[in-house]
Amino acid sequence: MATQVRLAAAHVAPIFLSAQETTHKAIRLIEQAARNKANLVAFPESFISAFPIWSALRPPTENHDLFQRMVRESIHADGEEMQAVRATARKCNVTVSLGFSEKVRTSSATLFNSNMIIGSQGNVLVHHRKLVPTFFEKLTWSPGDGYGLRVAETEFGKIGALICGENTNPLARYVLIAQGEQIHISTWPAVWPTWLPSQSTTEEHKPQPDATGKANYDNVAANRIRAAAHCFEAKCFGILCARLLGPDAIEIVSSGSSGLKQSLEQSQRAATMFLDPTGAPIRGFWIDEATSAQHSVDFLQAREGMLYADVNLTDCIEGKQYHDTAGGYQRMDVFDLQVNRTRQQPVRFTRAVDWETDQVLPEGSNGG
């Protein structure tokens, strides 16, 4: 296993509610990161092909058309879009973590907020569905299961991922720590409005209160605190990968409402950054595609781009001397955590049995 790893985090916007075009964009970005010698490329939450921010801003009675579009532009985990991404990972010899809105063949409208870690040979290493959709996300996504609470063992380290608010769940985080996680990917939406602001906010500073004195959620600080706590407890590197809010998303979600458009434009933008195994920020860099020059930055927030960092996985070791929270600093005789990794299905079919002879009947028989 390599100890020197180049991380890449895509601070980018999808082509809003277009699975095909967003997939093409993801492929171009993977190829770009590979040219820049990245070993691991992370994409934001639900990158293909939208985050349902409309549910935070508009009543459900106004969102039927957007939900239908969301269903149409979500993708199957084994569909042609994901097959194309997997082929690109194999061609470029990079590991890819991709957030996507997943539809399933057991329903015409059930969706999951999912993340897939794809190996450098194009193989699926982890397919995770967010355990609990957060707040207004419940209007779009269904609860996931424990099947994807796994760490991917790759040539570039042991990689785990949790989606947005799951990084607040100490048990889910501990499950990844207990599998020896060395690189933790946390994925985030572009904005997280909790109030419609009547005053403007700045992208870099804490949201200002509205006329009632209520401030919007400071998602930059909240995301960093959660991710830093995990890195400190796991003694792992952290990738905070947030999406950008594109003008197409603002136009579609606001649907001509100047008030909603203003709220989206004024909402604080999330940031993409890296953390070390103590939880401290790592200064990253972006690469000028025309000149190949590297430009050092602390994070990406206001503009689209690919953020890189070079890390050494041996730096995950020292902190384990102090508190290895799933090893020498754990009391396994006191605490007993069990995880159900069964992929949940809406129905399970059993073989028909002849009630007189108690013999299993051939497949397709109704037992009559």
> SS3 string of the chain?
CCCEEEEEEEECCCCCCCHHHHHHHHHHHHHHHHHCCCCEEECCCCCECCCCCHHHHCCHHHCHHHHHHHHHCCECCCCHHHHHHHHHHHHHCCEEEEEEEEECCCCCCCEEEEEEEECCCCCEEEEEECCCCCHHHHHCCCCCCHHHCCCEEECCEEEEEEEHHHHHCHHHHHHHHCCCCCEEEEEECCCCCCCCCCCCCCCCCCCCECCCCCECCCHHHHHHHHHHHHHHHHCCEEEEEECCCCHHHHHHHHCCCHHHHHHHHHCCCCCEEEECCCCCEECEEEECCCCCCEEEECCECCCCEEEEEEEEHHHHCHHHHCCCCCCCCCCCCCCCCCCCCCCCCCCCCCCCECCCCCCECCCCCCCC
Q: What pLDDT sits at residue 258? A: 83
- Tens of pLDDT along the chain (368 residues) come to 789 999 999 999 999 999 999 999 999 999 999 999 999 999 999 999 999 999 999 999 999 999 999 999 999 999 999 999 999 999 999 999 999 999 999 999 999 999 999 999 999 999 999 999 999 999 999 999 999 999 999 999 999 999 999 999 999 999 999 999 999 999 999 999 888 765 444 445 456 555 555 677 888 999 999 999 999 999 999 999 999 999 999 999 999 788 899 889 989 999 999 999 999 999 999 999 999 999 999 999 999 999 999 999 999 999 999 999 999 999 999 999 999 999 999 998 877 777 778 787 776 555 44
**Model-level pTM?**
0.93
Rounded (5°) CA angle 183-189-191: 135
Phi/psi class of residue 149: alpha, beta or left (left: φ > 0; alpha: ψ in -120 to 50)? beta
Q: What's the CATH number where 128 sits?
A: 3.60.110.10
Residue 366 within a domain: no
Q: What pLDDT sits at residue 28? A: 98
Residue 365 within a domain: no
Residue 368 within a domain: no
Buried b (16+ CB within 10 A) or exposed e, 120-138: bebeebbbbbbbebbebbe
Distance CA 226, CA 243 (A): 17
The residue among 191, 210, 211 whose CA lies nearest residue 267 is 191
Name the one residue in this structure whose structure tokens are 């939880």: 279
Number of domains in the chain: 1
Residue 321 within a domain: yes
Judge residue 236's burial from the number of C-beta atoms within 10 Å of its C-beta, 0-12 exposed, 13-18 middle, 19 or more buried.
buried
Report residue 290 as tokens.
Answer: 């025309």
Distance CA 127, CA 174 (A): 18
Residue 297 within a domain: yes
Give the structural domain span for 352: 4-200+208-360
Residue 367 within a domain: no
Distance CA 47, CA 148 (A): 18
